[in-house]
Amino acid sequence: MIALLRASAGDRQRIEDFQRAAYARTEATVGARAIPLEWDYGKVLEECEVWLDESRGSLRGVLILRIREDDLFLESIATAPEAAGSGLGRLLLQATFDRARELGLDRVALITDSLNPALAWYKRMGFLVELEDIQPQRTVIRMSMPVQGG
């Protein structure tokens, strides 16, 4: 189990700095700006639930969830570069499904770039591709997965 703390407006700069570092790997692989780095984090903090993993004395993970009518939308799941491969991403994903159950939602949805290495990880975790949206700069993959019992 992971203990996440809810972010506040005062965490904005830390979150922005963290996201830049966390998504640098994705940008290098994809060759395009990562979608979460295009956001206004003031708006994100107003419209979404932003959860922080500050275990081991530092910010190690950021989870951004948007509550929608029919699903919980996973806006961003990011880990510190030094936490790559540690299982933290899997724990953050589990926290996402736990939150969906708490909210009474039966589906978690997300989008990712077709070139994002995380696409294969999402598939291994059980997400299914619903749509491939070909855009001028990227192909956006829309995925979802049902929330299993509690």
What domains are there in the chain, each with its CATH number?
Answer: 5-107 (3.40.630.30)
As a whole number of angstroms, the distance between CA 55 and CA 149 comes to: 27
Query: What confidence tier does 150 reach under pLDDT thresholds 50, 70, 90?
Result: low
As a whole number of angstroms, the distance between CA 133 and CA 34 comes to: 16
Q: How far is CA 105 from the centre of its chain?
A: 17
Of the given ranges (12-16, 86-90, 117-121, 136-140), which has the lowest mean pLDDT? 136-140
Query: What confidence tier does 32 reach under pLDDT thresholds 50, 70, 90?
Result: confident
**Stated pTM of the model:** 0.92
pLDDT of residue 149: 64
Nearest to 107 by CA among 88, 84, 130: 130
State what percent of residues in the chain have pLDDT above 70.
98
The answer to whether 7 and 51 are in contact (CB under 8 A) is: yes
Average pLDDT for residues 120-131, to the nearest whole number?
96
Q: Which amino acid is present at 6? A: R
